Amino acid sequence: MKRYYIIYEGIVQGVGFRWRLMMYAKQLNLSGWCRNLDNGNVECAVQGKDVDKFLKLSTKSERFAKIFNWSVKEIPLEPHESDFTVRF
């Protein structure tokens, strides 16, 4: 099991991107959170067995969301976290 902290850059706000992240996380049985940043990016912390699959799915541009760049850092696990949420 791993935990990643990810920053997504591109057209990622106002296009349903955070909700898409939550859908992927729930499909893969991952926990964590995501939220918009003031600079137009989205940050995310996600943990579980399939975080690499989550990263692959989440960095693909789609109809409205366009990912130009992302950064990933492995961070310590949160043992009591059990769900994935969208933070505001």
Active site residues per annotation: 18, 36
Task: Return the structure tokens found at 2.
Answer: 């791993």
Give the range of the structural domain holding residue 44, as residue numbers without chain letter: 2-86
Residue from 17, 13, 1 nearest 60 by CA: 17
Overall number of domains in the chain: 1
Q: Give CA torsion, residues 56, 80, 75, 24, to 10 deg.
A: 10
pLDDT tens string 16-55: 999 999 999 999 999 999 999 999 999 999 999 999 999 9
- The pLDDT of residue 6: 98
At 51, which CATH number? Answer: 3.30.70.100
What percent of the chain clears pLDDT 70, i.e. is strictly above it?
100
pLDDT the model gives residue 87: 96
**Tens digit of each residue's pLDDT (9 = 90 or more) over 50-88:** 999 999 999 999 889 999 999 999 999 999 999 999 999
